[in-house]
Structure 1
Amino acid sequence: MSPAPAPHGHRPPRLARAVPALVPLLGILALTACGGPAASASKGDPVRVSLGAANGTRTVKAGDKLRVSAAGGSLVKVVVTDPKGRRLPGGLGDGGKVWTSGEPTAPGTKYSVAVEAKNAEGGTNEVKESLTTAKADKLNKVELSPGSQGATVGVAQPVSVAFDFPVTDKAAVERHLKVTTDNGTTGSWGWVKDLSGKDRVDWRPKEYWKPGTKVGLRADLNGVDSGGGRYFAKDYDLNFTIGASQVIKVDLDSKHLTFNENGKEVKDIPFSAGKPDAQHSTWTGIFPLLAKEGTINMNSETVGLGDAYDKMVRDSMKLTSSGTYAHAAPWNADKVGRVNNSSGCIGLTDADADWLYSKVRVGDPFEVTGSSVRGRAAENNGFGDWMVDWSQWQKKSALPSSS
């Protein structure tokens, strides 16, 4: 059957013409960038959003501040977060046309960017995008002390951060370091150049730690420029506990030391210290124990002494970076308690060295007093933070009123 003819004066309906949808212009970066879907404006054209560095380049390098800019309207809200959910702070400018981060971006980090925008007609749209910043060409790394997570240490142990490369912007680095305690311990950062020539910053309490204190370090250094375009590429955390108060009082004149626990004398131990001359006498001062090294080889050539010795020494307790130890000295047993006759170390009998070594922990202070031709050790010879009185130590911070 033939189809019925169309009524006179009517034409068959035509297919509707497709109308292209309007989409916002997402930022195109020279780095890795992925655009997400954006909702169309409720009325009028959507605001176009682009990303780049605050210096005007599209490429966001390590240390650049991020810029989000709008065309065809203004920005209402910008939220930038890193993979850990931490927000990159920033603010709007130029009448809402631009948002600029208040801090530099971190190297090699993927940021998520969420934008709310409004056009001239009052229509709104949302844009979501992500970008990954370039890796830094030069990096700086750190070494933390105490070196073991969750360690129990002595009452004189500082929180210490040593840097592989020089830190020329010390204030910028120090702002990203935070020490917390469970009892509100008062302390301050102080910068030193250690005996190896490396920059180091230590946080020491005003007085010896209270036993049992829980201490935490948070170093939010990822993306921080330590100076000269050398960046940190990660954050660091450290937690440790202060043990019982163990103070070793060393009297060079009496040639006896006392081991004191929680303010009470536990044991008196005779020793023989360094010969009373400019080359061998034992340094005085307060020395937090740096390490328990057990049996080690001691060679005079490594510490610049002219008289040759090369011995395997047991119960070695390191006090200075330059090589001062308390240790067993059986070859000098007849001098212990009578004559200072060593090359600068604190020599003990085997039995007393065994006992002391079993008791001490890293961070316990050895308080060395008495007559010494060489006098007080330099503050950078080990953890010499306690060689400096509190008011002078506070001045070593790169920031005012550090606490």
Structure 2
Amino acid sequence: MSRIRRHTLPRRPVRLAAITGTALLAAALTACGGGNSSSGDAKSDLKSDKKTEISVNLTGKQAKAGEPVKVTLADGRLQSVTVTDAKGGKLDGKISADGKTWTSDRVAAPGASYAIEAKDDKGGSAKADFATAAPEKENKLSLAPGKDSTVGIGQPLSIVFDHPVKNKAAVEKQLKVTTSDNTEGSWGWMEDYSGKSRIDWRPKDYWKPGTKVTLEANLNGVDSGPSGGWFTKDYKTGFTVGKNQLIKVDLDNHRLKLFRDGQLVKDIAMSAGTPGGDKASWRGKTVLMAKEGTINMNSETVGLGSSYNKMVDYSMRLTWSGMYAHAAPWNSGYFGSANKSSGCIGMSDADAKFVYDSVQVGDPFEITGDDAKGTQALNNGYGEWNLSYDAWKAKSALTGNTGTTGN
């Protein structure tokens, strides 16, 4: 049962009562009136007491999380209800049309304590409190791109969860994407390359340069489902879309072309993966995931045996499986004429430096040609651009809900 504390209003005595199974708040409202007779020597006082009962659906110290808070008034009308957690956060809510019930917009989070103050239209007020049970397991997430970053026109929003998400619709409902220009887009679920639950949001078409994007993941109090645990916090991030850049790679003709604002900036001779086996490159639309600079590349880490182990400059990651664009001076005899690498797109030092300095994380790489081992998988980096928009929308747990708003 909730603890009930006495609250006394000036000139209005307040009585609080409790009923087993609910948190019951009682405000006794006193109306006083007086008047003088015309002669001034007669005086009468009018006094009445009326008990107002308010019940709360969540009670005690182990209340069930994941449910909205409901405060109900027996008689009269509610004027206001304030529900505050121990950290000073508030649960907003609405009073019903008949003034009898207040319901919070969001649910009570696990492992949290709440204080309630309710006021009625007669000036009475009362207080109560409750706490929710701590979660047995807590789910967390990682977000991409980074907060306040500037990215290319192909960059999706991507969320990877620490634990499985079975209640996909419940989670997706709490993800709100806001764009500065009402960009149309949709969420889509997949299993990440790591094996974890993942959801991405991509626009229908490539972003427009200058678009500002905000994600609010209001997940505090949402249950992931079996083996997933509860979310115990909200998340917020945002980014800006930068230059309109696109890289086109022609595997069969051994060329890489950088376009900016639709205009060709650089045409580069390159050599991609050796066709006919595991060393072939992937084709399809991918997105630059990271500019990693000078890194060690070991073919054994991507299942290609011990064919190479070397430091590589100007490395630009395109997939989780180890496909990069980078400098490959050791392969210069094949630039522009043959594909003879172990899967990556190799260029001269000077050309690789030019591309590396020019590109942004999130720039699309559109890779075409028959000299490939297939189309990049959806979860192998950002492969969602290889699906039609209708096919991508079908991966949302909320049919017909794009989850986006404009400013």
Please give the range of the TM-score, normalised by the shorter of the 2 chains: 0.7 to 0.9
- 1: distance between equivalents of 2:144 and 2:343? 26
Q: Match of 2:52?
A: 47
Q: Match of 2:81?
A: 79
- 2: distance between equivalents of 1:143 and 1:236? 10
Secondary structure of 2:272's aligned partner: coil
Q: Match of 2:198?
A: 200
| Count of residue pairs the alignment pairs up | 368
Worse-matched range after superposition: 130-139 or 277-286 = 130-139
Contact (CA 8 Å) 2:217, 2:235: kept in 1 or not?
A: yes
How far is 1:314 from its partner? 1.1
Contact (CA 8 Å) 1:66, 1:105: kept in 2 or not?
A: yes
Q: Match of 1:253?
A: 252
Q: Match of 2:207?
A: 209
- 2: distance between equivalents of 1:216 and 1:259? 28
Contact (CA 8 Å) 1:29, 1:51: kept in 2 or not?
A: no
TM-score relative to the length of structure 1: 0.83
Query: Which residues of 2 match residues 252-291 of structure 1 at below 5 A?
Result: 252-291=251-290
Contact (CA 8 Å) 1:188, 1:397: kept in 2 or not?
A: yes
Distance change in 2, residues 1:172/1:254 (3 Å):
same
Distance change in 2, residues 1:75/1:276 (3 Å):
farther
Q: Match of 2:327?
A: 328
Q: Match of 1:115?
A: 118
Q: Match of 1:24?
A: 16
CA RMSD in angstroms, aligned pairs only: 2.9
How far is 1:136 from its partner? 2.1
Q: Quick one: which amino acid aligns to residue 23 of structure 1?
A: R
1:106 to 109, 127, 139: 109
Q: Match of 1:3?
A: none
Larger radius of gyration: 1
Output one character per residue of 1:106-152: Cα deviation in whole Å (capped at 9) or x when no partner. Answer: 1234434232459xxxx7732133444343221111111102x2111
Q: Which runs of 5+ in 2 are unaligned?
A: 1-12, 31-47, 403-407
Secondary structure of 1:231's aligned partner: coil
Contact (CA 8 Å) 1:252, 1:368: kept in 2 or not?
A: yes
Q: Match of 1:60?
A: 63
- 2: distance between equivalents of 1:130 and 1:92? 25
Q: Match of 1:393?
A: 392
Q: Match of 1:297?
A: 296
Secondary structure of 1:305's aligned partner: coil
Distance change in 2, residues 1:320/1:47 (3 Å):
same
Contact (CA 8 Å) 2:251, 2:272: kept in 1 or not?
A: yes
Distance change in 2, residues 1:223/1:22 (3 Å):
closer
Contact (CA 8 Å) 1:286, 1:366: kept in 2 or not?
A: yes
How far is 1:104 from its partner? 2.9
Q: Match of 2:233?
A: 234
Q: Quick one: which amino acid aligns to residue 216 of structure 1?
A: T
Distance change in 2, residues 1:128/1:22 (3 Å):
closer
Output one character per residue of 1:267-300: Cα deviation in whole Å (capped at 9) or x when no partner. Answer: 0111110001121110001111000111111111
Secondary structure of 1:138's aligned partner: coil
How far is 1:230 from its partner? 1.2
- 2: distance between equivalents of 1:89 and 1:344? 58
Q: Quick one: which amino acid aligns to residue 114 of structure 1?
A: E
Q: Match of 1:379?
A: 378
Q: Give 1 or 2: higher strand fraction.
A: 2
